[in-house]
Amino acid sequence: MQSAPPEVRLRPLRVTELLDTVFTLYRRNFLLFLAVIAVVQVPYQVVSFLVTAIVGPAGAPKLTAGQRLTSAQLHSEIHFLVGTGVVLVVLLVLTAAVVVPLQTAAFTKAVADRFLGRVASPTACYRFAVRRWAQLVLLGLMILGLVAGAVLVVILVVVVLSAVLKAVGVLLSVLVSLAALVGGVIAYARLSIATPALVLEGLSPAAAIRRSWDLTSEQVGRAFGVILSLAIVEALIGIVLGTLVGVLSVPFGISSPLGLAVRDLGQLVVSLLEAPILATGLTLFYFDLRVRKEAFDLELLARQVLEGSSEG
C-alpha cells in the first residue's frame, strides 16, 4: 500500500496535546472516519428502527381504562412481551458480537493508518476487521468474565461481612465497596488499550490484556485522565447535537410519525459523529505509550504495526 504524508509527528503527548491531535486527525479524515463508522452503524440502526416500529406499542393489546384482560388478550400480551424480549436480546447479541467488534477493528485500523501516514479506505479496513473479529469477541468475553468474577467476589464479601459482623460488617462492606470501585476504575484504565494492542499487533486476547497492563504500568493517572477527557468531550458533543435534534423535531410534532422519524435520523447522525472520538483517542494513546515506554520512532513503529496488521 502506498504511503501518504504522516498526519502527526510521532512524539510523547500531554493529555491536552493528545486531545488536540484527536480533533486534528478527525477533521483531516472526516469523510473516511464517517464512512468507516457508517458501514455497520447505518444498516444496524435502520434494522433497529424497523424492528422497534413493528414490535413497539402498536403491537401491544389495546385496553380502555378499567377494562380487564380476557384470556385471549392475556395470551396475546404474553406473546407480544416474549416476542419483544426475543427481539431485544437478538439486537443486543448482534451489537455485542458483530457490530461493535467489526466497527472497532476497522476504525482502529483506519486511525492507525492515517496517523502513521498510510493510505486507508473503508473497504480495506473492513477486510482487515473480518480477520480480527473473532479475537475481539473473545477479548470482550474475557474482560466480561473478569468483571463478572470480580463483582461476584465483592458481593460475596459484602454479604458475609454484613451477616457475620452485623453493624460493623455493614461499615466494612461500604469500605470494601468503595475500594472495589476504585480498583475497578484502575483496572479499566489498565485495560483501556487492550483493543488497539490486539488489533494492531495481532495479539491473542490474553496477550492483548497483558500488553495493555504492561504499557499502562506507572501510567494509570494519565490513562484515567485521557479516558475521562475523551468521555467528557464525547458527552458534550452528544448533548449539544442531541438538543439540536430535539429542537428540529418539534415543528413536526414530537410524537408524530414524521417527528419520530426526524428524531431517529438525528440520533443516527449524532451517533455517527461522536463515535470516533473515544476510539481515536484510545488508539493515539496506545501509540503515545509505545513511544514513551519503548522509544519507537515513526518508521519502526509503522513497520511493526503493519506487520501485525498483515497477520491472520
Looking at residues 177-193, what average pLDDT do you find?
Answer: 92
| 8 within some domain | no
What's residue 107's pLDDT?
94
Q: Of 86-90, 194-198, 216-220, 254-258, give the lowest mean pLDDT range.
A: 254-258
- Is 37:295 a contact under the CB 8 Å cutoff? no
Write the pLDDT tens digit of every residue in 120-152. Answer: 999 999 999 999 999 999 999 999 999 999 999
| 7 within some domain | no
| 67 within some domain | no
What is the residue whose three cell numbers read 494492531?
200
Cell numbers standing for residue 88? 431485544
Quote the pTM value. 0.80
What gap in Å lies between CA 209 and CA 104, rounded to an integer?
16
| 12 within some domain | no
| 4 within some domain | no
pLDDT bin (cut points 50, 70, 90) of residue 305 is: low
Q: Of 130-134, 194-198, 233-237, 262-266, give the lowest mean pLDDT range.
A: 262-266
| 16 within some domain | no
Looking at residues 6-21, what average pLDDT do you find?
Answer: 75
| 6 within some domain | no
Looking at the chain, the whole-number percentage of residues with pLDDT higher than 90 is 37
User: What does pLDDT average to over the chain?
Assistant: 81
| 37 within some domain | yes
pLDDT bin (cut points 50, 70, 90) of residue 13 is: confident
What is the residue whose three cell numbers read 496477550?
207
Range of the structural domain that residue 181 is part of: 23-61+72-310
Q: What is the distance between the terminal CA atoms of the chain, rounded to a whole angstrom?
A: 17
Which long-range contacts (C-beta less than 8 Å, at least 24 apart) are formed by 144-152? 146/187, 147/184, 150/180, 150/183, 150/184, 150/187
Q: Select from 263, 298, 276 the least CA-distant residue to 11.
A: 298
Exposure string over 227-239, b if 16+ CB within 10 A, otherwise e = bebbeebbeeebe
Q: Select from 36, 9, 40, 191 the least CA-distant residue to 111.
A: 36
What is the residue whose three cell numbers read 476504575?
185
What is the number of domains present in the chain? 1
What's residue 62's pLDDT?
54
Q: Of 109-113, 232-236, 257-261, give the lowest mean pLDDT range.
A: 257-261
